[in-house]
Protein backbone atom coordinates (compact mmCIF):
# COMPACT_ATOMS: atom_id res chain seq x y z
CA UNK A 1 0.00 0.00 0.00
CA UNK A 2 2.01 2.92 -1.35
CA UNK A 3 1.07 6.42 -0.40
CA UNK A 4 1.06 9.17 -2.97
CA UNK A 5 1.55 12.59 -1.52
CA UNK A 6 0.07 15.76 -2.91
CA UNK A 7 1.82 19.08 -2.73
CA UNK A 8 0.17 20.61 0.33
CA UNK A 9 1.51 20.43 3.87
CA UNK A 10 -1.55 18.70 5.35
CA UNK A 11 -1.11 15.69 3.06
CA UNK A 12 2.63 15.55 3.63
CA UNK A 13 2.09 15.73 7.37
CA UNK A 14 -0.48 12.93 7.35
CA UNK A 15 1.88 10.71 5.32
CA UNK A 16 4.87 11.24 7.59
CA UNK A 17 6.66 13.52 5.12
CA UNK A 18 7.53 10.30 3.20
CA UNK A 19 10.19 9.64 5.84
CA UNK A 20 8.12 7.72 8.40
CA UNK A 21 8.22 10.78 10.67
CA UNK A 22 5.37 10.65 13.14
CA UNK A 23 4.81 11.44 16.80
CA UNK A 24 4.45 8.32 18.92
CA UNK A 25 1.89 9.09 21.62
CA UNK A 26 2.00 5.53 23.00
CA UNK A 27 5.68 5.70 24.00
CA UNK A 28 5.91 9.47 24.44
CA UNK A 29 5.80 11.48 27.64
CA UNK A 30 4.92 15.03 26.58
CA UNK A 31 4.02 15.11 22.90
CA UNK A 32 5.55 11.92 21.55
CA UNK A 33 8.13 13.83 19.48
CA UNK A 34 11.20 12.13 20.97
CA UNK A 35 9.57 8.70 20.74
CA UNK A 36 8.60 9.40 17.12
CA UNK A 37 12.15 10.47 16.25
CA UNK A 38 13.42 7.33 18.00
CA UNK A 39 11.14 5.23 15.81
CA UNK A 40 12.41 7.03 12.72
CA UNK A 41 16.10 6.61 13.58
CA UNK A 42 15.50 3.11 14.97
CA UNK A 43 16.99 3.78 18.40
CA UNK A 44 15.55 3.65 21.89
CA UNK A 45 13.51 6.66 22.96
CA UNK A 46 15.75 7.36 25.96
CA UNK A 47 18.66 8.06 23.59
CA UNK A 48 16.71 10.77 21.77
CA UNK A 49 15.48 12.17 25.08
CA UNK A 50 19.07 12.30 26.34
CA UNK A 51 20.19 14.20 23.22
CA UNK A 52 17.21 16.53 23.57
CA UNK A 53 18.06 17.25 27.19
CA UNK A 54 21.72 17.79 26.31
CA UNK A 55 20.70 20.08 23.48
CA UNK A 56 18.50 22.01 25.88
CA UNK A 57 21.41 22.47 28.27
CA UNK A 58 23.68 23.81 25.53
CA UNK A 59 21.25 25.52 23.16
CA UNK A 60 18.39 26.44 25.51
CA UNK A 61 15.27 27.85 23.95
CA UNK A 62 16.28 26.80 20.43
CA UNK A 63 15.63 23.15 21.34
CA UNK A 64 12.30 24.08 22.94
CA UNK A 65 11.24 25.90 19.77
CA UNK A 66 12.38 22.96 17.62
CA UNK A 67 10.41 20.55 19.84
CA UNK A 68 7.28 22.68 19.54
CA UNK A 69 7.76 22.96 15.76
CA UNK A 70 8.11 19.19 15.45
CA UNK A 71 5.06 18.74 17.66
CA UNK A 72 3.17 20.96 15.24
CA UNK A 73 4.53 19.51 11.98
CA UNK A 74 4.47 15.80 12.87
CA UNK A 75 1.22 13.91 12.84
CA UNK A 76 0.36 11.08 15.24
CA UNK A 77 1.42 7.66 13.94
CA UNK A 78 -1.54 6.20 12.02
CA UNK A 79 -3.16 2.92 12.88
CA UNK A 80 -4.58 0.76 10.15
CA UNK A 81 -8.22 -0.20 9.73
CA UNK A 82 -7.42 -3.54 11.29
CA UNK A 83 -5.96 -1.92 14.42
CA UNK A 84 -2.34 -2.69 13.50
CA UNK A 85 0.31 -0.04 13.62
CA UNK A 86 2.13 0.43 10.32
CA UNK A 87 5.79 1.19 9.60
CA UNK A 88 7.68 2.04 6.44
CA UNK A 89 9.69 -0.78 4.88
CA UNK A 90 12.75 0.63 3.09
CA UNK A 91 13.40 -2.42 0.93
CA UNK A 92 9.87 -2.66 -0.43
CA UNK A 93 9.28 1.10 -0.22
CA UNK A 94 5.81 0.66 1.18
CA UNK A 95 4.03 0.46 4.52
CA UNK A 96 3.50 -2.84 6.32
CA UNK A 97 2.21 -3.86 9.74
CA UNK A 98 4.80 -3.15 12.40
CA UNK A 99 6.77 -6.19 13.51
CA UNK A 100 7.41 -7.15 17.09
CA UNK A 101 11.14 -7.33 16.37
CA UNK A 102 12.66 -4.51 14.34
CA UNK A 103 14.82 -6.68 12.10
CA UNK A 104 13.99 -10.03 10.58
CA UNK A 105 17.52 -10.48 9.21
CA UNK A 106 20.62 -11.08 11.27
CA UNK A 107 23.17 -8.33 11.75
CA UNK A 108 25.62 -10.16 9.49
CA UNK A 109 23.20 -10.27 6.58
CA UNK A 110 22.33 -6.57 7.02
CA UNK A 111 26.04 -5.69 7.05
CA UNK A 112 26.66 -7.87 4.00
CA UNK A 113 23.81 -6.15 2.14
CA UNK A 114 25.19 -2.71 3.09
CA UNK A 115 28.66 -3.74 1.90
CA UNK A 116 27.21 -4.93 -1.41
CA UNK A 117 25.46 -1.59 -1.90
CA UNK A 118 28.65 0.29 -1.08
CA UNK A 119 30.68 -1.90 -3.45
CA UNK A 120 28.13 -1.28 -6.23
CA UNK A 121 28.29 2.48 -5.67
CA UNK A 122 32.10 2.36 -5.70
CA UNK A 123 32.06 0.38 -8.96
CA UNK A 124 29.71 2.91 -10.59
CA UNK A 125 31.84 5.86 -9.49
CA UNK A 126 34.94 4.12 -10.86
CA UNK A 127 33.19 3.59 -14.21
CA UNK A 128 32.16 7.24 -14.33
CA UNK A 129 35.70 8.38 -13.54
CA UNK A 130 37.07 6.06 -16.22
CA UNK A 131 34.62 7.46 -18.77
CA UNK A 132 35.26 11.12 -17.90
CA UNK A 133 39.03 10.67 -18.14
CA UNK A 134 38.88 8.71 -21.41
CA UNK A 135 39.76 9.96 -24.87
CA UNK A 136 36.27 9.06 -26.10
CA UNK A 137 34.78 11.56 -23.65
CA UNK A 138 37.13 14.27 -24.91
CA UNK A 139 36.26 13.41 -28.54
CA UNK A 140 32.51 13.48 -27.81
CA UNK A 141 32.90 16.83 -26.07
CA UNK A 142 34.75 18.29 -29.07
CA UNK A 143 32.04 17.00 -31.44
CA UNK A 144 29.35 18.58 -29.29
CA UNK A 145 31.20 21.92 -29.48
CA UNK A 146 31.23 21.66 -33.27
CA UNK A 147 27.48 20.95 -33.41
CA UNK A 148 26.69 23.96 -31.25
Same domain for 32 and 98?
A: yes
Same domain for 25 and 65?
A: yes
Range of the domain at 112: 108-147
Whether residue 121 lies inside any domain: the answer is: yes
Same domain for 68 and 112?
A: no
Same domain for 95 and 31?
A: yes
Whether residue 120 lies inside any domain: the answer is: yes
Same domain for 65 and 79?
A: yes
The CA–CA distances, whole Å, from 45 to 5, 11, 40, 98, 146 equal 28, 26, 10, 17, 61
Render pLDDT for 95-142 as a digit per residue (tens, 0 to 9): 666 665 555 666 788 789 889 999 999 999 999 999 889 898 888 888
Q: How many CA atoms lie within 13 Å of 69's alpha carbon, on the beta-carbon side?
A: 6
Q: What is the pLDDT of residue 3?
A: 47
Same domain for 92 and 120?
A: no
Q: What is the DSSP string of 103-118?
A: -SS-HHHHHHHHHHHH
Residue 34 near residue 49, CB atoms below 8 Å? yes
Whether residue 4 lies inside any domain: the answer is: no
Residue 9 near residue 15, CB atoms below 8 Å? no
Same domain for 69 and 15?
A: yes
Whether residue 89 lies inside any domain: the answer is: yes
Same domain for 58 and 77?
A: yes
Same domain for 112 and 69?
A: no
Strand, coil or helix: 89: strand
Residue of 29 and 10 predicted with greater confidence:
29
Residue 59 near residue 51, CB atoms below 8 Å? no
Same domain for 140 and 75?
A: no
Checking if the pLDDT of 10 tops 90, the result is no
Whether residue 85 lies inside any domain: the answer is: yes
Q: What is the pLDDT of residue 85?
A: 64
Least Cα distance to 13 among 24, 3, 22 occurs for 22
Helices 33-41 and 45-59 pack at an angle, to 10 degrees, of: 120
Render pLDDT for 34-77 as a digit per residue (tens, 0 to 9): 888 887 777 788 888 999 999 999 988 898 999 898 888 887 87
Render pLDDT for 78-87 as a digit per residue (tens, 0 to 9): 665 545 566 6
Instruction: Give the chain's domain count.
Output: 2
As a three-state string, the secondary structure of 1-61 is CCCCCCCCHHHHHHCHHHCCCCECCCCCCCCCHHHHHHHHHCCCHHHHHHHHHHHHHHHCH
Amino acid sequence: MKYKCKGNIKDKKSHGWHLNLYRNKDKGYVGGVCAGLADHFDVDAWVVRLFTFGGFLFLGSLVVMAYIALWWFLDIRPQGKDGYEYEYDERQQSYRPKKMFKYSDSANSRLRRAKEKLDEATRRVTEMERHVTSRKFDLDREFSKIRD
